[in-house]
Amino acid sequence: MSKPPGAAGTSATDASTVDDVLASVRARGGRATPSRRALLEVLFNADGHLTAEELAAAVEARVPGVNMSTIYRNLDDLQRLGVVVHSHLGHGPATYQLASSAHAHFICDNCGATVEAPDKLFQGLARTAKAKLGFSIDPHHFAILGRCASCSAVATPARAVDLS
């Protein structure tokens, strides 16, 4: 039998609904404000990565008058709870998504194409980094630059690395 949301031992990352997350926030002494609810609704309904500015615009449409500082504060709180993660995809601003949807990224430095990379690709690297360096990696936080298949077919990449 599963624990009720916010129960001792229940992680916010286990939350599958906005109400589950808000229960977890309340269980940790936080408040379930209209702006926090709206932010969570936007994140739960998002089809991809959103910048803080895009999140703010979507929240503003639901709850007029929400300040950008409120968005950043809520994102920070939700990251500490493990509900939200942010990623750096190339040279643009950080993007945010639910932790349950987190994945790694490859970005083509020629055309800018983004490829979502399954975590399985990084398991060997994670094991090696832990065994040899004592370091635990987080492949979701940043993008790995290189060349996509289309750009690689047109020209031999100067910085390509053979992973075989």
Q: Confidence band (pLDDT; 50, 70, 90) for 52?
A: very high
Contact indicator for 105, 52 with CB cutoff of 8 Å: no
pLDDT at 20 > cutoff 70: yes
Q: What is the pLDDT of residue 156?
A: 58
Per residue in 56-74, pLDDT (tens digit) is 999 999 999 999 999 999 9
Average pLDDT over residues 108-133: 89
Q: Confidence band (pLDDT; 50, 70, 90) for 102?
A: confident
pLDDT at 103 > cutoff 70: yes
Q: What is the pLDDT of residue 4?
A: 32
Q: Confidence band (pLDDT; 50, 70, 90) for 3?
A: very low
pLDDT at 22 > cutoff 70: yes
Q: What is the pLDDT of residue 35?
A: 94
Q: Confidence band (pLDDT; 50, 70, 90) for 89?
A: confident
